[in-house]
Amino acid sequence: MAGAAKLHVLAVDDSHVDRKVIERLLKISSCKVTVVESGSSALQYLGLDGDESSIGLDSVKVNLIMTDYSMPGMTGYELLKKIKESSVFREVPVVVMSSENILTRIDSCLEEGAEEFLLKPVKLSDVKRVTDFIMRGEGKKGIKRSHKRSRSDDSTPSLSTALSSVSHPCDLPSPCVSQKKSRLSI
Amino acid sequence: MDKNQSRRQVASMKQSLFDQGLLDEQFIQLEGLQDDANPNFVEEIVTLHYRDSSRLISSIEQALKERNPMDFNKLDTLMHQFKGSSSSIGAKKVKAECNLFREYCRAGNAEGCVRSFQQLKKEYVALRKKLEAYFQLARQVGPQETACRSK
């Protein structure tokens, strides 16, 4: 992919294992990756931590932020809110990741402006789909949408959890059972 | 042991881990991330997991000693982290034990927590041993057995 611009992704997760995995997933998806371990580190990296010395400096350029939901200190939801409050970064798509399939959690993240909500463990296909989407420039449209989640599919979470508990290594997960909740129809 | 024999043994060890319900699809997902430049990615992740999770195990053990009252919130938080890490390497049975433990936490059942944690530790140690043996043999056989990415 010589000459093609790479997406710069900021990944936030307090788990060392998950940081290593997401970094690998993103690198395979041809992204430049910066990984931090907390919401406050993320804000610091973006220059949003209120530190006087970062005012006036050129903002770091980030095309996508992927954050874990459950983190000590600042949750992924709180980080999402701070990013969406920022005039510099509110247009940057934010994807929230969580091991817990809680509808109210998913809803509040999407309503706060998250591009997508991914269930952990995150797969390469999830990351590729998200990065392809951003590369096509469609991620930038996110903030201009006024409607909420386009799919209200309450049966999907229980289906995907049921499938995952009986999954066998030889079976591929059904393509129509998605582990994402998204207000975008991709 | 000749190479072919070792390769068959690696494959059968792996299959057995799945057949026994110890590993799930996530392990296969991780294998799919290996390539010539990163031939030992799964082993690195698993090693990292055992390093981090051993600290969590100690913290949980400590917290379980606090009896009057037992801090179920703290235990649930610790177990959530432990479960996440286990899930990331595809540790299916350990993950199931984590869920059971969290149910006892949420029910405020101290004895249940203690008992299920004992069982969890057994599963955790058993899987670690099996994975150590698996990776040791896989390393001898060479990267072509586990790497499946072409680029």
CA distances from B99 to A108, A153, A158, B30, B103 (A): 25, 25, 16, 22, 6
User: Do the chains contact at A169 and B23, CB–CB below 8 Å?
Assistant: yes
Can you tell me the distance from the alpha carbon of A99 to that of A122, in angstroms, rounded to the nearest whole number?
9
**Order of all β-strands in the sheet with A180-181:** A31-36, A7-12, A64-68, A94-98, A116-119, A180-181
Biggest CA-to-CA distance, chain B = 59
Q: How confident is the model at residue A136 (pLDDT cuts 50, 70, 90)?
A: confident
Amino acid at position B46, single letter: V
Take residue A52 and report the two structure tokens written for it: 């006087």
Take residue A66 and report the two structure tokens written for it: 């992927």
User: Do the chains contact at A24 and B84, CB–CB below 8 Å?
Assistant: no
Can you tell me the distance from the alpha carbon of A38 to that of A102, in angstroms, rounded to the nearest whole number?
22
Mean pLDDT of chain A: 79
Amino acid at position B54, single letter: S
Using alpha carbons, select from B50, B72, B23 the residue that is nearest to residue A121.
Answer: B23
Residue of chain B minimizing CA distance to A125: B29
Can you tell me the distance from the alpha carbon of B22 to that of B91, in angstroms, rounded to the nearest whole number?
6
Residue of A17, A18, A160, A165 best to disrupt the B interface, most CBs of B under 10 A:
A17
Can you tell me the distance from the alpha carbon of A72 to that of A70, in angstroms, rounded to the nearest whole number?
7
Per-residue model confidence as pLDDT tens digits over B101-150: 999 999 999 999 999 999 999 999 999 999 999 999 999 887 654 445 54
The distance from CA B124 to its chain's CA centroid, rounded to whole angstroms, is 6
- State the pLDDT at residue B1: 60
- Judging contacts by C-beta atoms under 8 Å, the chain A residues touching residue B88 are 15, 17-18, 21, 120-121
Element (H, E) at B98: helix B92-106
Cβ neighbours for B75, distance < 8 A, ≥ 6 positions apart = B60, B63, B64, B101, B105, B113
Can you tell me the distance from the alpha carbon of A92 to that of A112, in angstroms, rounded to the nearest whole number?
13
CATH of segment(s) A8-182: 3.40.50.2300
Per-residue model confidence as pLDDT tens digits over A33-75: 999 999 999 999 999 987 655 555 667 899 999 999 999 999 9
> How many of the other CB atoms lie within 10 Å of CB of A138?
14
Q: Tell me, what DSSP letter sits at residue A58?
A: P
- The model's pTM is 0.82
User: Do the chains contact at A17 and B49, CB–CB below 8 Å?
Assistant: yes
- State the pLDDT at residue A57: 63
- Judging contacts by C-beta atoms under 8 Å, the chain B residues touching residue A70 are 80, 84
The distance from CA B11 to its chain's CA centroid, rounded to whole angstroms, is 19
- State the pLDDT at residue B142: 76
Q: Is A68 helix (H, G, I), strand (E, B) or coil?
A: strand
CA distances from B74 to A74, B60, B98, B102 (A): 17, 9, 14, 11
